[in-house]
Structure 1
């Protein structure tokens, strides 16, 4: 199988390296809007270089999109037009309206699409989902989720990221739906800035928190920050009437206990999301190859991407308007007939 990657930045090169080591991949082709960038990345990883995406589409069996968010929509459409099974990193598109349009296109098309929410393929999140689905936790009353980055992205990235909720916590939002199997009903969120000045200058926040009331009454809290230099901290706790489970509660946890004579966790700490989720990325791309071969349905559709984006937009509106926001106030509510996946 020949896999083409559109976007030769850090995550594109990372995926290229992962794909070359997966069974059944005969060739990986790397293209970028900046040909020199693609050439250098292809040489470093040891994959094939293509001068542009258009030329690449004629020589591949499946497409992986790792380019800037503003290009996702056009590339997804190009993949569908070429009949290529397509994987696209989150978010689906730069705007919710475009993402909704792509979800409708997905439903009309026979070309399989998969959106890149790698936490669905992390062993801990999968065990938490199974624990909930099996009923062994009883009814779920509380979920807590967090994503704390060790350092802010560069200023140029912040200005086009879409904001903390869309760029960072959107992974929590998808994981909340994935683990609980339930859609969000109401969002209330707040945010602030105490750190890097260019984040505030971009009308963004470096730290945010919020609460979701889910459709079944489960209460969910989440937090996110760009300013957690002690370590990359991604966790989820699920509390039920009969039991509890936690994701990310291991020796790498970026916390220090204040209790006397407690040495745990001993480290080493994880410093970035690529290290934290390396096995999940490998499983995710292997799953996409199965999708591309027609062996399984997409495990994370454009619809799923839209639902996470709607949660992010509800949080952003809540923060700005200082009020709870119902999800049915956010565009795309009519797509939600299928519920959480």
Structure 2
């Protein structure tokens, strides 16, 4: 077995702290240090995890093979750019950049430098979605609802980039067809950005996806439903549950001729699965599960949805 991968975390606020804790728990990784512009926050976490703290992330980069970047979205581009130029592999939280042009440049730079760039679309690693992915053959209609309580965290971007982008990533990876038409609407409620949004996407394959995201809900909901010939699949991300209803001659149940299967998965540490996948990809020299191109595609679609909302509002 080779030496542990030397890793660091840049930005140890709410999400970055969890990244650091996961790396510290992995036998295949060595948490060399954390970097944060708030010295007290970085030093406190470094002391807890028995590692080093830096206020300038550029001092950390020469010491590591790979980094997680969990700074605010507007700062993703310079931090990821510096990391790739230093020769580090990068796992960056979603959205991968503040603009499509920035994201394209990061993808190009990663390829040029021969370094992996992975984007933190966490729910790719949800067990229910992993099983759904194995059963999808010909998506015809998709419906998603992602509703969350209002939180101060994440309001530097609109709800499409904050929440809906998870489901955009799922839809793009499952449908695997260019988007032909976008219709979208959204409203601002408690912030100066869109807090509730709905998007209807029509793909060249004929598949339709209807997605709703809100950070103004009194009830949390993360559900994703897919219809295809002879089969209905539904993931409840919070319950870690996949429901499959499939046409089956002679099947008995609530709907004659339809076999119903509800699969419940044990609660998992999805972030640990994501970070383990990143460490393994780097260690084995294999493309990570959610590469820069996938992150770019989700970001570009999110931006196009926002543009469609502005057009609809006049």
Task: Give TM-score, length-normalised by structure 1.
Answer: 0.78
Displacement, 1:179?
2.7
Q: How does 1:215-234 map to 2 (within 5 A)?
A: 215-230=204-219, 232-234=220-222
Asked whether 1:70 is paired with 2:90, we answer no
Q: Distance in 2 between matches of 1:252 and 1:2?
A: 32
Partner of residue 25, structure 1: 29
- The SS at the match of 1:205 is coil
Matched, 1:5 2:4: no
Q: CA deviation at 1:153?
A: 2.6
Q: Are 2:195 and 1:206 aligned?
A: yes
1:169 paired residue number: 164
Change (3 A) 1:47 1:245: farther
Match of 1:284 among 266, 271, 274: 274
Change (3 A) 1:307 1:250: closer
SS of 2:212's equivalent in the other structure is: strand
Contact 1:19–1:28 (8 Å) recurs in 2: no
Unaligned runs of 5+ in 1: 254-275, 324-341
* Whole-Å separation in 1 of the counterparts to 2:229 and 2:236: 21
TM-score, structure 2 as length reference: 0.84
Match of 2:183 among 184, 188, 197: 188
Are the aligned partners of 2:222 and 2:237 in contact in 1 as well (CA < 8 Å)? no
User: What is the aligned counterpart of 1:116 among 116, 120, 141?
Assistant: 120
Aligned CA RMSD, in angstroms, stands at 2.2
Distance 2:47 2:178 in 1: 44
The total of aligned residue pairs comes to 285
Measured in 2, the distance between the counterparts of 1:77 and 1:122 equals 29
Secondary structure of residue in 2 paired with 1:223 = strand
Q: Contact between 1:119 and 1:277, CA under 8 Å: does it hold in 2?
A: no
The 8 Å contact of residues 114 and 301 in structure 1, kept in 2 or not, is answered as yes
Counterpart in the other structure of 1:299: 289
Provide, for residues 104-136 of structure 1, a one-character-per-residue CA deviation record: whole Å limited to 9, x for no partner.
22332311111111111111111111111xx3x
Q: Kindly tell me: are residues 82 and 219 of structure 1, through their superposed partners in 2, closer, same or farther at Cα, counting changes over 3 Å?
A: same
Aligned 8 A contact 1:16 1:47 in 2: no
Kindly state the Cα deviation for residue 246 of structure 1 after the two structures are TM-superposed: 0.7
> Where do 5+ consecutive residues of structure 2 fail to align?
242-265
Q: In structure 1, what is the equivalent of residue 260 of structure 2?
A: none
1:178 is aligned to 2:185: no
Deviates more, 1:19-28 or 1:208-217: 19-28
Are 1:236 and 2:224 an aligned pair? Answer: yes
Quick one: distance in 1 between partners of 2:237 and 2:116? 35
CA distance in 2 between counterparts of 1:35 and 1:89 reads 22
Aligned residue in 1 for 2:141: 142
